[in-house]
């Protein structure tokens, strides 16, 4: 299996293949959403002890067969069929991982929760980006302990730092190294871009520090 690499913006290997077959897409279900889901996926997979690689494949492929940005119940099954047609070897995963990935994609928009840690990481990564459509993620609809953390929900619900690049996400596959939640909150507080900016909507007025204080209180 060819390893995924990212050099000068050129991504090769299974992740490069997934990006090619996923194609271009803009809007609320496009690349910016996929990259934020990818960041969430790597964070959650790292914390839950499941494969960051499979979780990143989910981020890239789960919405790539949408036919519109509205009601499209067939887009999960179509994404699952696409992954099956590529096969586990091309995607750099085991047959079992492919089964889990296709299950996660097939059912990702049904509002379910799960005990399966890898499926949970995939679904939570997507739902933690709901703020882009003005919806604050509901902890009752998140499957993993890491995903339900109110500080994480607050961090994921502030998009002012922008979405990561694909190159950065691929590099994180080799070394997920991530700031701790406390470090992220300190960086959030110290960044004048964040503290001066007006919240985009009521949905983002719960800052990470306030969320942490609520938990502590």
Binding site for Fe ion (CB under 5 A): 63, 109, 126
Nearer Cβ to Fe ion (111/139) = 111
The least distance separating Fe ion from the CB of residue 29, rounded to whole angstroms, comes to 6
Q: Which is nearer to Fe ion, 32 or 109 (CB)?
A: 109
Q: Smallest distance, Å, CB 206 to Fe ion?
A: 22
Pick 25 or 186: Cβ nearer Fe ion: 25
DSSP 217: -
Q: Give the tokens for residue 202.
A: 């009521």
| CA pair distance 37, 77, nearest whole angstrom | 19
Residue among 13 and 33 whose Cβ is closer to Fe ion: 33
CB of 114 to Fe ion, least distance (A): 16
Minimum CB–partner distance for residue 20 and Fe ion (Å): 19
- Helix H or strand E encompassing 11: strand 10-11
The 3-state DSSP class for residue 10 equals strand
- 161-166: which pairs have CB atoms within 8 A and are 24 or more residues apart? 161/191, 161/193, 161/194, 163/32, 163/35, 163/36, 163/39, 164/35, 164/36, 164/38, 164/39, 165/9, 165/35, 166/6, 166/11, 166/15, 166/19, 166/35, 166/38
CB of 75 to Fe ion, least distance (A): 6
How buried is 104 (Cβ within 10 angstroms: 0-12 exposed, 13-18 middle, 19+ buried)? buried
CB of 22 to Fe ion, least distance (A): 12
61 alpha-carbon distance from chain centroid: 11
Q: Choose between 66 and 88: whose C-beta lies nearer to Fe ion.
A: 66
Residues 164 and 180: their CA atoms lie apart, in Å, by: 17
18 contacts 61 by C-beta, under 8 angstroms: yes
Nearer to Fe ion, 29 or 172 (CB): 29
């Amino acid at each position: 299996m060819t390893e995924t690499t990212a050099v000068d913006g050129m991504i090769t290997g299974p992740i490069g293949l997934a990006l090619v077959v996923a194609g271009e897409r803009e809007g609320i279900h496009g690349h910016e959403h996929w990259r934020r889901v990818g960041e969430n996926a790597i964070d959650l997979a790292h914390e839950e002890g499941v494969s960051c690689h499979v979780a990143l494949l989910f981020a890239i492929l789960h919405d790539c067969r949408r036919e519109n940005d509205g009601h499209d119940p067939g887009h999960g099954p179509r994404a699952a069929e696409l992954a099956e047609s590529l096969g586990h070897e091309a995607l750099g995963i085991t047959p079992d991982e492919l089964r889990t990935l296709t299950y996660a994609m097939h059912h990702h928009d049904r509002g379910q929760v799960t005990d399966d840690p890898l499926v949970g990481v995939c679904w939570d990564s997507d739902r933690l980006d709901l703020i882009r459509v003005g919806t604050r993620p509901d902890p009752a609809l998140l499957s993993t302990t890491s995903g339900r953390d109110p500080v994480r929900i607050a961090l994921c619900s502030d998009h002012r730092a922008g979405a990561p690049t694909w190159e950065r996400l691929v590099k994180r596959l080799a070394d997920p190294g991530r700031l701790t939640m406390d470090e992220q909150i300190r960086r959030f507080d110290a960044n004048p871009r964040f503290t001066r900016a007006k919240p985009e909507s009521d949905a983002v007025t719960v800052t990470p520090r306030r969320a942490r204080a609520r938990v502590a209180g």
